[in-house]
Structure formats: structure tokens, C-alpha cells
Amino acid sequence: MKILFTTSEAAPFAKTGGLADVAGSLPAVLAKAGHDVRVVMPLYGSIAAEWREKMKFELCDGVQLAWRRPYIGIFSLEHEGVIFYFIDNEYYFKRAEIYGHFDDGERFAYFSRAVIELPRLMNFAPDILHANDWQTALVPIYLLEERYRITQLSKTKSVFTIHNIEYQGRYGKELMSDLFGLSMSYCNEDMMAFYDDVNLLKGAINAADYVTTVSPTYAQELKYPFYGKGLDGVIRANDFKLKGILNGIDVGLYNPGKDAGIAKTFTAGRPAGKKECKVALQETLGLRVNPDVPVIAIVSRLVKHKGIDLVAAGLHRMMDMDVQMVILGTGDWNYEEMFRQAASQYPGRFSAQLMYSAQLSAAIYAGADMFLMPSTSEPCGLSQMIAMRYGTVPVVRETGGLRDSVTPFNAETGEGTGFAFADINLEDLMWVMGQATELYHGDKKLWNKLVKNAMQADFSWDKSAGEYLAMYEQLI
């Protein structure tokens, strides 16, 4: 099969979240299975020189976007068996930040048009055109009519993946023609109309031949108003072409047995190195070095939908459990200030690292004992998978990918990989935290069994990639 995967970010070139991890890992696994996989993304100014030096200039042309015809340059680079195409236009993409600009609608409309033109310019006829999130939501919409103009797209089927439905690309309908270059006929309830605006995500859901989400549970949750963010009716109407496929992680990258960035390597069969990682973490963060006290970690954006309000409400009760705690991340100022004060109130027991640090996050995954993710909503979540890979037991709320990836531990059978609670409720959170700390303090043998279970859980991309391939084959 020939697969063209389009994304606004992909690791290792540009990353702000989980989308980049998926776009950097899934295509490589599909390519290893013998398919011709190519990825197209913007050539951001922030992409490192080490990658730019390896790129090959392919061609330049113009792209018709409504009344504009801006320049397009195409560069290519082969990485892990995948050809990456980079769309060059410095006016749109040479900026300090990837997102958050006043003209993001125009920037990604241009990018979507460039994606549609790329098969013609590179003479590449994809069987599948796979778009992701609102930034490329216009791709399956443009494909509806452009497949009749561009020969290379005449048999192409479209797949659209929702990584997070909270970000939808909503604009005033007066921009349909001038900004997106689309007829007002697309502004109807069966395509893009949304409360007297246009909604790009809604349009992609309606236009795509198949729609996926990043976990089976999230696919079902989106049918309900609480999770659907206004699009639950659209999701229900398109249920016939909806599928949830759980994300994987790069098990080669996240490998405690070979990770040079942690204090001591270890495996499920040779777990002793984790103790050294814990000591190193405690020393680095100024926590009291004590192997008998569990270290609870949170690596997250500090916002409400990540369940940080529950953490805030129960923080002092958690600290009464004879634990240490570390927070890594940034977010709402009220949460940041609360954690700063907690660090002062609990010296040697609480560490607030209000920043982003890949190096420190690796040390936390390797050195902590428990990983707390009480999310209100979590489409998939990769952190809990990475934590389990490093023997850090997850404590999660049963939602989205957290429910699909964490099996509650059963002390009677010794089965399970973590702890979970169902309701968005402080008492439920405190109950499972009590279970976890009681097991840690009371039965080391059973705790070590739980840690081993977590480390042996399979979160490689192989199974998920197989599901994507089966879906692609069904479409074509």
C-alpha cells in the first residue's frame, strides 16, 4: 500500500504533544511491514539544523488558496524507512512557536492545500491519505473535489484521526470563501456548519472515509455530551465509520534496559537498577533519601481536565500518607502557586518543578514508585505507558486510553498493572491512593509483582499498526 500521513508535528523534528509521538512512530512501523509510507509536515523555523542539513530540496511551485497563490517549497528526508516531506513557506512557518498565532486558520489551510497538491507535484499516488487533528482537517474536505482534478488522488481514500476533540478549528462562516477557498455550499449541517460558524473538525469527520480516535474507550466516550464538546451528535451520526485504536509507544526509545539518560539501567528481570534511579531522583530534587517511602510523580500540564483540581483538593491528605511527591509541568497559575507553597510546607518531601524538561521527566519515570494521572478526560495518554515501561505503577481514572491501558491490580490473583478509580470524585481518588500506599508499605513481594507486571505490559506499536493496516485494506 501507498500511505501518505499528514500531520502538523512529528518527532523528532517538531513536538508539542502526543500527536508528534504518533506521527514519528506509527509510520515507521507501517514501513517496516513493507508499505510505502510518506509523511508530510510543515518546515518550521524551529526544526534543528542537524535535520535541515540532511534534507534534499525537491521543487518549488505555487499553491492556490482562495484568491492567493503563495509559494510552496518541498524538501525531503528519509528517516527510519519513511520519507518525510517538509512544506517550506517562511511567511507561515518561520515563527518562534508552532501554534497560537492570529492567522493559524490561514496557515493550516495553506498547509492542507499543499498536502493535496503534493501527490501531483511529487507524482505519488497514495491509496490512503491519513490526516490528524484540526490543523489538517481540511485535507479530507479538499479531497472530496480535488480527487477529480488531480489524477494521483483519483482512487485515494481518506482517514481522519481525532487525537483531542477539544481543539476543533472553529471560525466565522464569512471566512469560507476568502480564507479556506471553499464554496458556501459546504456550510451546511451535514458538513461544516456549527452554531452559525464553521467547524473544521466537524467537516473532516463528515468528509473522511473513516474516522479513528486514539483509544477504543475514547471513541465511545465522544458519543456523550460530557466528552464530545458539542460534536457528540456528529460522532453518533458517523458511528458506522468510527473506530478507536489505542496508541503505542516507541519501546526502543523508552527502554529502561538501554536508556543512557537514567542513573542506572534495569529490566523486569534485573530490577535492582530502579532503586539507584530512585536515590538519584531524591538527591536531584532535594527529597530525603529514603528507599522505604514511596515517591508519587505527576508529569503533566497543570490544568483542570488533567485532574489537577482533584490533586489540589486532596494534596494534604496524600502527604499525610507517609509519601514523597514530585510535580513536573506548567499550567494554570493557581495550580503552580499551590504547588510552590506545598514545596515550602513539606521540605524534603515535596518537589515542584514548574517547567518542562525531557531529561528530568526521564529521571522521574525511572525513579518514582507511582505515577498519578487522575484525568477528567484523556483521549489516550502516553505517560502512563512510559511509566509502566519504567516500573512506575500508574494510579489513574478510568477514562479514554487510561482505561484501555491500565488493568486494576488484583491482590488475590496477582494480576493487573496499576490502580484505577471510575468517578471524578476526591474520595475515590483517596481510596485508591490508600490502596496503593498500603500495598507498597505492607507487602513488598506483592508490590514487586505489580511492578514486574507493569514493566512486561506490551505497548509496542505492532498491534495498533496491524489494526490500522486492516482498516486501510478494508477501505481500498
CATH of the domain at 345: 3.40.50.2000
CA distance 289 to 386: 24
The rounded mean pLDDT for the chain is 96
Is 267 contained in some domain?
no
Is 262 contained in some domain?
no
Residue at grid coordinates 519515570? 365
Residues 329 and 242 in one domain: no
Range of the domain at 186: 2-248+461-475
Would you say 443 and 99 are in contact if contact means Cβ atoms under 8 Å apart? no
Residues 232 and 319 in one domain: no
Residues 122 and 82 in one domain: yes
Phi then psi dihedrals of residue 323, to 5 deg: -135, 170
Residues 431 and 465 in one domain: no
At residue 218 the predicted structure's pLDDT band, cuts being 50, 70 and 90, is: very high
Is 268 contained in some domain?
no
Is 264 contained in some domain?
no
Q: Domain count of the chain? A: 2
Residues 304 and 204 in one domain: no
Residues 14 and 130 in one domain: yes
Is the confidence at residue 358, as pLDDT, over 90? no
Q: Give the HSE-up count for residue 47: Cα atoms under 13 Å, Cβ half-sphere.
A: 24
CA distance 79 to 361: 25
Residue at grid coordinates 456549527? 194
At residue 62 the predicted structure's pLDDT band, cuts being 50, 70 and 90, is: very high
Residues 335 and 311 in one domain: yes
Kindly report, residue by residue over 404-459, the tens digit of the pLDDT: 999 999 999 999 999 999 999 999 999 999 999 999 999 999 999 999 999 999 99
Kindly report, residue by residue over 272-320, the tens digit of the pLDDT: 999 999 999 999 999 999 999 999 999 999 999 999 999 999 999 999 9
Is 263 contained in some domain?
no
Residue at grid coordinates 508552532? 98
Residues 443 and 471 in one domain: no
Is the confidence at residue 139, as pLDDT, over 90? yes
Residues 317 and 371 in one domain: yes
Strands 36-42 and 82-88: parallel
Q: Count CB atoms within 10 A of the CB of residue 119.
A: 23
The predicted structure's pLDDT at residue 266: 97
Kindly report, residue by residue over 371-403, the tens digit of the pLDDT: 999 999 999 999 999 999 999 999 999 999 999
Is 253 contained in some domain?
no
The predicted structure's pLDDT at residue 17: 84
Is 265 contained in some domain?
no
Residues 378 and 425 in one domain: yes
Residues 422 and 358 in one domain: yes
The predicted structure's pLDDT at residue 460: 93
Is 260 contained in some domain?
no
Residues 225 and 344 in one domain: no
